[in-house]
Structure 1
Amino acid sequence: MFYCSFAIFLIVSIVKVQTENVTITIALNKTTDLSNKELYGEYVNLNASSTLQVGFTDVSKSLAFIIFQVHSHFYNITLYNNTLTKSSSVYGTNIGIYSTVKSTSDKFFIYNQNMVNVKLFIVIHGYSAKDPIPGGCNMEFQPPISPSMHISYNNDYVLIETASARDSADLVCTSIYDVIVEFYLMYLPERSFDSDTYFKGIQDMMTLDNISENGEIIPQTSWSMRRMLSAYPGTGAIFVAVAYNALNRSAYSVYVPTYTYACSPLDESGCELLDDALSQFLCASLLFFGLFICYFGHRFFKTEMFLIGSISGVVITYILISLISELERPALLGAAILSGLCFGAIWLLFWWFYGIPVFAVLLSTLNLGFLFAAILYFGMPGGLTALQIDFNFWALFILIMTLTSLILLSTTFLSDILCCAILGAYATIYPIDYYVGSNLKYIIINTIRRAVVPKFNNAVLLPPLEWMDAILTVTWLALALTGFLFQHYQNRGRPPFPPPPRSIRPTMPDTTYGTTGERRYVDVAQRPTSAHEVYNESTPLLF
Structure 2
Amino acid sequence: MAFVYSMVCIFSFILFSTADLRSPYIQDHLKNKVFSIESNHSEVKYIPYNVKSTLNVHMPNSSVGALVHIACEHSSVVLSLVKNFSFGNYVNGSSVGLIVLRSSTLNRHNRVYFCLTSNCSSVFKDKCIITALSFSSKQPVPGGCNLVHNMNIYPMIDIDEKRDGSTRVKFSSANVGSNIGSKPPVCDSDSSMHLRLKYSVYADFTYQANSNLKPTCELCNRSLCKANNDYLNAFSNIFGGKTSFSYKVADLTSSDHAKYHLAAYPCAAMMTYIVVTDPKFGTHSMYIPTTIKMGSYDDSQQAVLALKIITMVLGAVGLLLCLVGHRFFIFELFFMSGMFFVILAICFMEAFGLWLHYNSLNFTILTVIGLLGSISITALWFRFGKAAMFSSVIGIVGGFCFACIIFITPLSNMTVFEYRATFILSLLCGCMVYVLALILVIKMHRMCIVSSALVGSYLVVACIGSVYWYCSLVGQLILIIVRKMTTVDLLDATIVYPLYILDYTLIGAWAGLFVLGVASQHFITKNHPPFPLSPRELVQLQPTMSEEDVHGDNIATDNDSASSADSSSTSVNYDGDISDDPPDYRDIYPEQDTSRLLAN
Cross-structure match for 1:517? none
- How do 1:195-234 residues align onto structure 2 when only pairs under 5 Å count? 195=223, 197-203=226-232, 206=235, 207-208=237-238, 211-220=243-252, 223-234=256-267
> Which digits, 9 at most, give the CA deviation of each residue in 1:346-374, with x for residues without a partner?
21123223332431321111111111111
Structure ranking higher in helix proportion: 2
> What's the secondary structure of 2:127's corresponding residue?
strand
Tell me if the contact between 1:82 and 1:106 (Cα under 8 Å) persists in the aligned partners. no
**Could you give the per-residue CA deviations for residues 95-129 of structure 1, whole angstroms, max 9, x where no partner exists?**
11121122356311232211443222211121222
CA-CA distance at 1:383 after TM superposition: 4.9
Query: What is the identity, as a one-letter code, of the residue corresponding to 2:453?
Result: A
- Specify every segment of 5 or more residues in structure 1 that has no aligned partner in the other structure, as ranges: 1-14, 29-38, 512-526, 529-543
Identity across matched positions, percent: 19
Q: How does 1:229-378 map to 2 (within 5 A)?
A: 229-245=262-278, 247-263=279-295, 275=303, 277-324=305-352, 326=354, 329=357, 330-378=360-408
Partner of 2:172: 163
Q: What is the deviation of 1:386? A: 1.2
What one-letter code is carried by the residue in structure 2 that aligns with 1:250?
G
Q: Cα gap change, 1:272/1:22 in structure 2, threshold over 3 Å: closer, same or farther?
A: farther
Partner of 1:4: none
Deviation at residue 398 of structure 1 after TM alignment: 0.8
Q: What residue number does 1:420 align with?
A: 452
Please state whether the residue corresponding to 1:486 is helix, strand or coil.
helix
Q: Summarize the Cα distance change of 1:263–1:338 in structure 2 as closer, same or farther, 3 Å threshold.
A: closer
Residue in 2 aligned with 1:112?
116
8 Å Cα contact 1:155-1:231 kept in structure 2: no
User: Quick one: distance in 1 between partners of 2:65 and 2:80?
Assistant: 16
Q: Secondary structure at the match of 1:151?
A: strand
**Are the structure 2 counterparts of residues 201 and 412 from structure 1 closer, same or farther at C-alpha, using a change threshold of 3 Å?**
farther
Q: Is the 8 A contact 1:205 1:214 kept in 2?
A: no
CA distances 1:173-207 after superposition (whole Å, capped 9, x unpaired): 42242322221122336449553753454336634
Query: Which residue among 478, 485, 498 is the counterpart of 1:444?
Result: 478
CA contact under 8 A between 2:49 and 2:115: conserved in structure 1?
A: no
Residue 159 (structure 2) pairs with residue 151 (structure 1): yes
Cα distance, 1:101–1:440 mapped onto 2, change above 3 Å: same
Partner of 1:70: 70
Query: Structure 2 counterpart of 1:380, which letter?
Result: P
Is the 8 Å Cα contact of residues 408 and 477 (structure 2) preserved in structure 1? yes
Equivalent residue for 1:456? 490
Unaligned runs of 5+ residues in structure 2 are 1-25, 178-183, 210-218, 546-557, 560-600
Q: Which protein is bigger by CA-based radius of gyration? A: 2
Which secondary structure state, in structure 2, belongs to the residue aligned with residue 107 of structure 1?
strand
Q: TM-score, normalised by structure 2?
A: 0.73
Query: Normalised by the size of structure 1, how large is the TM-score?
Result: 0.80
Alpha-carbon distance in structure 2 between the residues aligned to 1:438 and 1:449: 17
Query: Do structure 1's residue 503 and structure 2's residue 531 form an aligned pair?
Result: no
Please give the per-residue CA displacement for 1:232-275, whole angstroms capped at 9, x wherever unaligned: 33333221111222x415233211112234258xxxx8878994
Q: Deviations over 1:315-339 (max 9, x none)?
A: 1022224434646654444444333
Structure 1 counterpart SS, 2:336: helix
Instruction: Summarize the Cα distance change of 1:504–1:69 in structure 2 as closer, same or farther, 3 Å threshold.
Output: same
Cα 1:163/1:172, change in 2 over 3 Å? closer
Contact 2:228 2:289 in 1 (8 A): no
1:197–1:431 Cα change, 3 Å? farther
Does the aligned pair in 2 maintain the 1:136–1:163 contact within 8 Å?
Answer: yes
Equivalent in the alignment of 2:197: 179
Q: Over residues 383-410 of structure 1, what are the superposed CA-to-partner deviations in whole Å (9 max), with x where a residue is unaligned?
A: 5221111111111111111010111224
Counterpart secondary structure, 1:338: helix
RMSD between superposed Cα atoms in Å: 3.3
